[in-house]
Amino acid sequence: MSKNYRGKSINRKTKWRGTCPKCNRTGVKLIWPQGNIKVCKQCFSKNSSEKN
């Protein structure tokens, strides 16, 4: 009876996941703003560390 319900919340898509426009990595979090685009954490930290 309750089998109809399984897997409904597992396959939910999260809106901040996608392909990074900088490194073309897929399935990464794109929540770090860089200019007018959102990049992944790797690209963001790499760019901000250049200030040092």
Q: Which residues make up the interface to Zn ion (CB under 5 A)?
A: 20, 22-23, 40, 43
CA distance 16 to 50: 25
Q: Nearer Cβ to Zn ion, position 18 or 22?
A: 22
Q: How far is the CB of 50 from Zn ion (least distance, A)?
A: 15
Q: How far is the CB of 40 from Zn ion (least distance, A)?
A: 4
Q: How far is the CB of 11 from Zn ion (least distance, A)?
A: 25
SS3 21: coil
CA distance 48 to 3: 48
